[in-house]
A and B are shown apart, each in its own frame.
Chain A
Amino acid sequence: MRVASDQPSLHGTVDGPWSRTEFIRGFVAMAPLWVGAIPVGIAFGLAARSAALSVVETVLMSLTVFSAAAQVSAVSLIDEGAPVPVLVGTAVALNLQLLLIGLAVGRQVRSTWMARAVAAYLLTDAAYGVAVAGGRLTLARLTGAGASMFLAWNIGTGLGAVAGAAIPDPRRLGIDFVAPLMFVAVLVPLLRGSAALVTALVAGAVALLLVRVAPSGTVVLGAGLAGSVAGAWWWGRTGSSGRDAEPPDGGST
């Protein structure tokens, strides 16, 4: 799979009809992350069952909520008898970064409302991170990546809910190290120009500060906002020549 900087600038082009090739590309690009997603899904399935959720309720949660952070929190909250507003509020708070990501995506693609509605259902941090590779972001690719994660997550949940602790955990072999490698592979080619570097430095610093004390969604939101604001500020100050002439995502439609 080739990465973003190989493509010529695609300023002003319009996202064509939804492409099956792109969907498959996104689906396959997510495949390496299955080795992390399935075990975590299994762990959730086990946790939900031990909190006395039925198999149906456990599987339903992964099919409809589709958020590891929200689901894992919900299970312990339900166990403690928390009221529904707390469950809903926690789930939203843990996924606020998807609002920012959705905005960034929406700005880069043109598509029907139906395509957006479907892509939204499958939207996760990882799907976005993986789909940004390979040239201009398309909704089909994002949907493919999302569908791939959805499948892995639900397979894991199903296994955990039904088969229980009998399944060995591949994470002990360190195979899930492929996830950060995947994100490095997508990130590095995007680091063109000083503004992108500033973005990465600020985002990295904020992420390091938050990672021990905040849930994953908050880390992404905080680092995402801080980094992108810093990068935009830097670009505004220095930018309209040479490598800094374009923001790193190739501009909007």
Chain B
Amino acid sequence: MTTVAAIAAMAVAVYVVRVGGLLLAGQPIPEPFERVLAFVPVATLTAFVVMSLAGRPEEGAPQLIAAAAAGIAVWRTRRVWVCLVVGMGVYALLRLV
């Protein structure tokens, strides 16, 4: 098979996975599964936070501290930009030290 055909095969397969969930969701879903799906946002977001912080272990403490500070900031203010500014600011300061 040519490379282009291989790429096409991969693309189709991944698209099936992507669209599968969105299409299946139109079907009636039993109540217990409904409840589980309601918590998917929190669970997956937590996974993203952990993965992106664990990505560069040599950066370690400054990232964790900055992320914690940013978390407190957004908890208080409910503003995304505050979280980004506080987090990047603390991180920059800690890197300078």
Docked CA distance A107–B22 (Å): 8
Closest 9 CB pairs of A and B: A102-B21, A106-B25, A227-B43, A247-B38, A231-B39, A64-B11, A185-B83, A180-B52, A223-B47
Asked if B7 and A64 make an inter-chain contact with CB atoms under 8 angstroms apart, the answer reads yes
In this complex, the member of A188, A189, A191 whose beta carbon has the largest number of chain B beta carbons within 10 angstroms is A188
Q: Which of B7, B13, B22, B29 contacts A61 (CB 8 A)?
A: B7
**Minimum Cβ distance to chain A for residue B29 (Å):** 7
Q: Mark B25-63, 1 if CB is under 8 A from A, else 0.
A: 110010010111111111111111111111000010001
Report how many residues on chain B are interfacial, defined by Cβ distance under 8 Å.
65
Give Cα A208–Cα B46 distance, bound, in whole angstroms: 10
Interface footprint category on A: 35 or more
0/1 interface trace, chain B 3-29, chain A, CB 8 Å (1 if under): 111111111011101111111111001
CB contacts (< 8 Å) of B21 on chain A: these are: 98-106
Which residue, of B17, B59, B88, has the highest number of chain A Cβ atoms within 10 A? B17
Q: Would you give the shortest CB distance from A102 to chain B, in whole angstroms?
A: 2
If over half of B's interface residues share one DSSP class (helix, strand or loop), that class is named, otherwise mixed; here it is helix
Is the CB–CB distance between A248 and B38 below 8 Å? yes
Which residues of chain B have a CB within 8 Å of any CB of chain A? 1, 3-11, 13-15, 17-26, 29, 32, 34-54, 59, 63, 66-67, 70-71, 74-75, 78-81, 83-84, 87-88, 91-92, 95
Q: Is the CB of A1 within 8 A of B6?
A: no
What residue of chain A has the Cβ atom nearest to residue B64's Cβ?
A: A180
Cα–Cα, bound, A41→B11 (Å): 17
A237 smallest CB distance to B (angstroms): 11
The answer on a CB contact under 8 Å between A247 and B39 is: yes
Decide: A208 and B50 in contact? CB cutoff 8 A: yes
